[in-house]
Amino acid sequence: MNIDVMENSSDTKKVTTPLPLWEGQGVGLEGLGGGLSISIAKDSAFNFTYRANIDALRELGEVTFFSPLNDERMPDCDLLYLPGGYPELFASDLTNNASMRESIKAFAENGGRIFAECGGFMYLCNDIDGIPMCGVFPFSATMMDAKLHLGYRQLCNTKLSTLNPKLAKGHEFHYSSVIEPDTLPEGIIKEQFQLSAKGQPVDTALYHYKNVLAGYTHWYWAETGFAEIMEMFQG
Residues involved in catalysis: 118
Asked if residues 63 and 230 have their Cβ atoms less than 8 Å apart, the reply is: no
Q: Phi then psi for 61, rounded to 5 degrees?
A: 160, -155
Spatial CA neighbour of 57 closest among 69, 40, 42: 40
In angstroms, the CA 120 to CA 218 distance is 10
Residues 6+ apart with CB under 8 A from 174: 84, 118, 148, 149, 216
> What three-state secondary structure class fits 59?
coil
Q: Is 47 exposed, middle or buried (0-12, 13-18, 19+ CB in 10 A)?
A: middle
Q: Which helix (H) or strand (E) holds 231?
A: helix 226-234
Residues 6+ apart with CB under 8 A from 166: 224, 228
